[in-house]
């Protein structure tokens, strides 16, 4: 009886580890930016090349950065949700058009709707690189002092919004 106990305990321990492993996404790279100041940027506005937006302009507000591109299929999947989510513009939602052509990006917003409070243009992907973007869409929540508090990789889902993004926004605004 005792002889069987040790292999059984080992087996159960291994099973627990493997079971946990089932629900972890290995493609999700943990961001080193969490709880660190958001990287500085000076970006052209997507709509108006003459206007620039920088990180400091957004200090004092809790804002959501959504990285997207017109060539990104998963973004198209996510987009209607964002349009619906921010239809009354209650969230400071900043879009970052990543590695895109200006005309394509603008056309995309016209066609699928524009949920963004403002849109940044990042044709070379330099801003995205500083934010550690490796697959669009990606979404960041940044607090009033410009610190990154949350990162969501991949398309947002209704659950991700209600269970991750919204509680964080409530906490930061509350």
Residues in contact with other proteins by the rule CB under 8 A: 26-27, 29-33, 39, 99, 125, 129-132, 134-135
Q: How far is the CB of 133 from other proteins (least distance, A)?
A: 8
Q: How far is the CB of 135 from other proteins (least distance, A)?
A: 6
Supply φ then ψ for residue 68, to 5 degrees.
-145, 175
Q: How far is the CB of 129 from other proteins (least distance, A)?
A: 6
Q: How far apart are CA 135 and CA 28, in angstroms?
A: 10
Q: How far apart are CA 72 and CA 101, in angstroms?
A: 12
Identify the helix (H) or strand (E) that includes residue 74: helix 73-85
For other proteins, which is the closer residue by CB, 5 or 50?
A: 5
For other proteins, which is the closer residue by CB, 50 or 73?
A: 73
Q: How far is the CB of 40 from other proteins (least distance, A)?
A: 13
For other proteins, which is the closer residue by CB, 15 or 89?
A: 15
| Contacting residues for 113 by C-beta, under 8 A, at least 6 apart | 79, 80, 83
For other proteins, which is the closer residue by CB, 21 or 26?
A: 26
- Residue that is written with structure tokens 């919004």 in the block: 161
């Amino acid at each position: 009886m005792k002889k069987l106990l040790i292999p059984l305990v080992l087996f159960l321990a291994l099973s627990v580890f493997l079971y946990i492993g089932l629900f972890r996404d290995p493609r999700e790279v943990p961001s080193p930016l969490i709880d660190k100041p958001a990287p500085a940027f000076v970006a052209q506005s997507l709509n108006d090349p003459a206007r620039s937006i920088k990180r400091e302009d957004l200090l004092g507000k809790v804002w959501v950065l959504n990285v997207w591109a017109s060539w990104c299929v998963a973004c198209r999947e996510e987009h209607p949700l964002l349009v619906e989510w921010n239809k009354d513009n209650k969230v400071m939602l900043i879009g970052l058009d990543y590695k895109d052509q200006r005309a394509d990006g603008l056309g995309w917003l016209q066609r699928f709707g524009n949920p963004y409070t403002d849109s940044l243009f990042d044709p070379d992907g330099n801003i995205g690189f500083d934010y550690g973007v490796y697959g669009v869409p990606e979404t960041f929540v940044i607090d009033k002092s410009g610190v990154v508090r949350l990162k969501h990789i991949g398309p947002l889902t209704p659950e991700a919004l209600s269970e991750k993004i919204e509680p964080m926004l409530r906490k930061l605004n509350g």
